[in-house]
A and B are shown apart, each in its own frame.
Chain A
Amino acid sequence: MAISREEVEKVALLARLQLDDAELATMTEQLGDILAYVELLGELDTAGVEPMAHALDVCDVFRTDAARESLDREKALANAPKHDGKCYRVPAVLGES
């Protein structure tokens, strides 16, 4: 199934990616090729097959509900592109500033 350029633009927004015109064109073509290839799965009848999200039979894992040390603030902020010593700083979301 081919994918349209408009759909690719919509997905780029969902994926929080900014694509320029050339990238949009390449991406539309390449995603189209890949999606056409994965259509192969359509020929399999999978009715009644249990989906397998994980190779192991994963189960809930519990630990004792006891307080323990966590990453301190200084370390947590150390790699931030912008912070004020207490919080991460990002461009204003509400209103204009």
Chain B
Amino acid sequence: MEWSSPRDAAMSLTDLTATQLLDRLRKAEITSVGVTQAFLDRIDKVDTTIRAFLRVDRDGALAQAEAIDARRQAGKPVGPLAGLPVAIKDVLCTAGEPTTCASRMLEHFRPPYDATVVARLRAADAVLLGKTNMDEFAMGGSNENSAFGPVRNPWDTDRIPGGSSGGSAAAVAARMAPLALGSDTGGSIRCPAALCGVTGLKPTYGRVSRYGLVAFASSLDQVGPMTRSAEDAALLLSVVAGHDPADSTSVNRPVPDYAKAIKQPLSGLRIGLAREHFGEGLDAEVERAVREAIRVYESFGATVREISLPHSKYAVATYYIIAPCEASSNLARYDGAHYGYRTDEKSMLAELETERRALEVAGDRDGLEAMDNALIRMYRRTRAEGFGPEVKRRVMLGTYALSAGYYDAYYLKALKVRRLIREDFDKAFEQVDLLAGPVTPTPAFKLGDKVDDPLSMYLFDLFTISANLAGIAAMSIPCGSSGQGLPIGLQLQAPPFEEERLLRAARMYQSATNWHTMEPDLEK
């Protein structure tokens, strides 16, 4: 792209990738205020339709941008993301600023501290644009579980953007932010990345700090980048990855300079295709796009072989025991006492009194005995009013599976199958460097299509879930378009801590194809 005049530059700043923007910022060809304003203008223009953001911090973002420009102009040192706007999924704590998890429960919650990844972004001089919409508490695959209304897919606004990081994906796809952070517990970065046509990476469990990431399932949650290219993902991951003393599950091992390594192609790449990922239920257009992408790798000299992940078919069942169990425990903290929503006490006490009288009139001694006391009823009403249906469903499922008499049959059994799933990957990675396959079984479906059928919604995650159970690194990159013009994603999976391999492989593909540069037409 040529930069003949400042006016041209201002018109198309939002079309540039983060890497391109950073290069021009460094050369002082553009300013952070200019870039930030361009993205804010774009948000004003298209987000009334898409609803990717729950909150846009216009003044804060411009003030940050101005301060960074001033430091750069004064020749003072600036951070590695200096002046680049970033959108943050609203599951990550931002000190003093609302962090809602798209839940009524946390509608007015302002965390007393920053998540470590947010603090790292600030230290890198990124500009925080605002907080993105999501499925409530990151539970969902369509973004329809947001208490504040669904996000719409920029490629077709009657369709879902995928979830749970749908706001972050849509923001990047619709050019409202060059970079975004999402979180992935069972596919929540990769699924919306695939359905919105952006690049998303779920790091190895332990690669990125979870401190200040509002917990859903602590043994599965990871924060990761959602961007326009693998190069941009490398840039963002380099900043957020690394050990954090505040998260004892973050791993203390060096973080490679992903952005530097990414341009080196991988030679002698061995790619595995899991036969279980190409079976029944996979949409023909998705399969065609994925197989075509694999041929691109073959053209680079990669060898491709079929392998087996024999326990794949158990992944969804395993996940929908383990994740709800962890969720039911993590979400016990929302009790209406310490922070977040509390039910109206006056009407709650009146309700109890009415119930008591009715039971007394009926002479129901057992009923009177079994009645909630005021504190228990406060908890129950608070949670009934503060949580949406999917969160309630998972809390119920987890509570049941962990309850006396069922623990061994459900939770313990699932933990054993989790081990078998991990061992499948270990064996596969003895034979191949990467696994390639689909991200989602179909392209984006229509809003409302699966809301009444939670199980079919859960099954939409079948290709992404096992990476979380196994704790490995995985990525989604755009690799095609359906007949209806909807993006299709290619999933790449790598052994633990091989993010660099993933990024280099993704970059190889993106250097030879242009699926990742496709832009939705929001004017139509």
Q: A-side interface residues toward B, CB under 8 Å?
A: 3, 7-8, 11-19, 23, 27, 30-31, 33-35, 37-38, 40-42, 44, 46, 49-56, 58, 61, 63, 71, 75-76, 78-82, 88, 90-93
Counting chain A CB atoms within 10 Å of each CB, which of B245, B332, B403 scores highest?
B403
Q: Which residues of B contact A71 (CB under 8 A)?
A: 112-113
**Chain A binding surface SS class:** loop
**By the criterion CB–CB under 8 Å, are B249 and A80 in contact?**
no
Q: Hey, which chain B residues are within 8 Å of A19, CB to CB?
A: 384, 392
Q: How many residues of B contact A (CB 8 A)?
A: 72
Pull 9 A–B residue pairs with CB atoms less than 8 Å apart, ordered by A.
A15-B328, A16-B379, A17-B383, A17-B387, A30-B454, A49-B416, A50-B416, A75-B112, A79-B340
| Closest residue on chain B to residue A38 by CB atoms | B317
Pair A56/B205 contact, Cβ less than 8 Å:
yes
One of A33, A51, A80 near B337 (C-beta < 8 A): A80
Do B455 and A34 have beta carbons less than 8 Å apart?
yes
Contact present for A79 and B403 (CB under 8 Å): no
Of A44, A50, A58, A92, most buried by chain B (CB within 10 Å of CB) is A44
- Interface pair A90/B337, CB less than 8 Å apart: yes
Is B410 positioned at the interface, with any CB of A under 8 Å from its CB? yes
State whether A56 touches B342 (Cβ < 8 A).
no
Residue of A nearest to B402 (CB): A14
Residue of A nearest to B336 (CB): A81
How far is the CB of B288 from the nearest CB of chain A, in Å?
29
A58 to B205 Cα, complex, angstroms: 11
Q: A91-B349, A91-B374, A93-B374 are in contact. Are A11 and B337 (CB under 8 A)?
A: no
A17–B377 CB distance below 8 A: no
**Which of these binds chain A: B42-50, B418-426, B479-487?**
B418-426
CB distance from A97 to the nearest CB of B (A): 9
**Contact at A92–B399, with CB atoms within 8 Å?**
no
Q: Is B120 an interface residue (CB 8 A)?
A: no
Give Cα A33 to B457, complex, Å: 13
Write the residues of chain B forming the contact surface with A, with a CB cutoff of 8 angstroms.
108-110, 112-113, 205-206, 219-220, 245, 248-249, 251, 311, 313-314, 316-318, 320-321, 328, 332, 335-342, 345, 348-349, 373-381, 383-384, 387, 392-393, 395-397, 399-400, 403, 410, 412-420, 422, 454-455, 458, 469-471, 496
Q: Do residues B374 and A16 form an inter-chain contact, with CB atoms below 8 A?
A: no
Instruction: Given contacts A18-B381, A34-B454, list 14 more A-B pairs with CB under 8 A.
Output: A8-B396, A15-B395, A23-B392, A27-B393, A37-B455, A49-B416, A51-B415, A52-B418, A56-B206, A79-B112, A90-B336, A90-B378, A91-B375, A92-B375
Taking a contact as CB atoms under 8 Å apart, the answer to whether A46 and B420 are in contact is yes
CA distance A75 to B109 in the complex (A): 12
Interface pairs A-B: 7 shortest CB-CB: A55-B471, A79-B339, A51-B415, A81-B342, A91-B374, A18-B380, A46-B416
Is A41 a contact partner of B249 (Cβ separation < 8 A)? no
Measured CB to CB, the nearest residue on chain A to B398 is: A15
Residue among B314, B422, B455 making CB contact with A55, cutoff 8 Å: B422
Most chain B CB atoms below 10 A, which of A8, A17, A79: A17
Instruction: Check A11–B341 contact: CB distance below 8 A.
Output: no
Please name all residues of chain A whose beta carbon is closer than 8 Å to the beta carbon of B245 when the two chains form the complex: 63
Contacts A18-B377, A41-B414; A11 near B399 (Cβ below 8 A)? yes
Which B residues are CB-close (under 8 A) to A34? 320, 397, 454-455, 458
Q: Are A41 and B335 in contact (CB under 8 A)?
A: no
B241 to A: closest C-beta gap in Å:
15
Return the contact of B112 from the options A8, A23, A30, A76 (Cβ within 8 A): A76
CB closest residue in chain B, given A28: B396
CB atoms of A52 and B393 under 8 A apart? no
Query: B112 to A55, Cβ gap below 8 A?
Result: no
Say yes or no: A81-B341 contact (C-beta < 8 A), given A34-B320, A91-B375.
Answer: yes
Q: Are B342 and A55 in touch, CB under 8 angstroms?
A: no
Taken together as a complex, chains A and B put the C-alpha atoms of A73 and B216 apart, in Å, by 26
Q: Residue A27 contacts which of B337, B392, B417, B496 (CB distance < 8 angstroms)?
A: B392
Q: Which residues of B contact A13 (CB under 8 A)?
A: 380
